[in-house]
């Protein structure tokens, strides 16, 4: 089994807010992330897939094809968008780094030919990132 990782970048705005809570509770839990005007990050996405090497091509997956899938399924939807307001999955889930990783997993799962999605890693900043392995 070989693990292959492809990166992609997107820049998005977001804020953290739970409608079930009072403004004071949102402020207490989320701090400056609760600013309703939003703020933004340069996100880095790392997608790791696992598979066997095709003996003819020498590839696990065609990197160009993987790049195109990431562009179509994730980057074109998230890049230069407000995640809370413009991306459907974040109408109901707060766009934390953890939830972004889970949402990207759902967007990519079963869409990559000849390989199994192994890990979605999302960097909000170089010092803060979340991983999702498809675990319940």
Active centre residues (catalytic): 33, 80, 124
**Is the Cβ of residue 81 or residue 118 nearer to other proteins in the bound state?**
118
DSSP 61-127: S-HHHHHHHHIIIIIHHHTTEEHHHH-GGGGTS---HHHHHHHHHHHHTT-STTSEEEEEEEEEETT
Nearest to 125 by CA among 16, 31, 39, 38: 39
As measured in angstroms, the least distance from the Cβ of 56 to other proteins is: 25
Mask of contacts with other proteins, 91-120, x by CB under 8 A?
Answer: --xxxxxxx-xx---------------xx-
Residues in the site for other proteins, rule: CB under 8 A? 3, 5, 16, 18, 20-21, 29-31, 48, 50, 93-99, 101-102, 118-119, 126-133, 135-136
């Amino acid at each position: 089994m070989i693990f292959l990782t492809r990166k992609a970048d997107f820049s998005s705005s977001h804020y953290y807010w739970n409608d079930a809570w009072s403004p004071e509770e949102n402020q207490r839990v989320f701090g400056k992330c609760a600013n309703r005007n939003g703020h933004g990050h340069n996100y880095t996405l790392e997608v790791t897939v696992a598979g066997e090497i095709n003996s003819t091509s020498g590839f696990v997956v065609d990197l160009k094809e993987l790049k195109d899938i990431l562009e179509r399924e994730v980057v074109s939807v998230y890049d230069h968008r407000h995640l809370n307001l413009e991306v459907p999955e974040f109408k109901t889930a707060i766009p934390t780094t953890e939830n972004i990783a889970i949402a990207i997993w759902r967007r990519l799962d079963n869409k990559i030919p000849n390989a199994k999605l192994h890990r979605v890693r999302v960097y909000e900043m170089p010092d803060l990132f979340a991983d999702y392995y498809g675990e319940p």
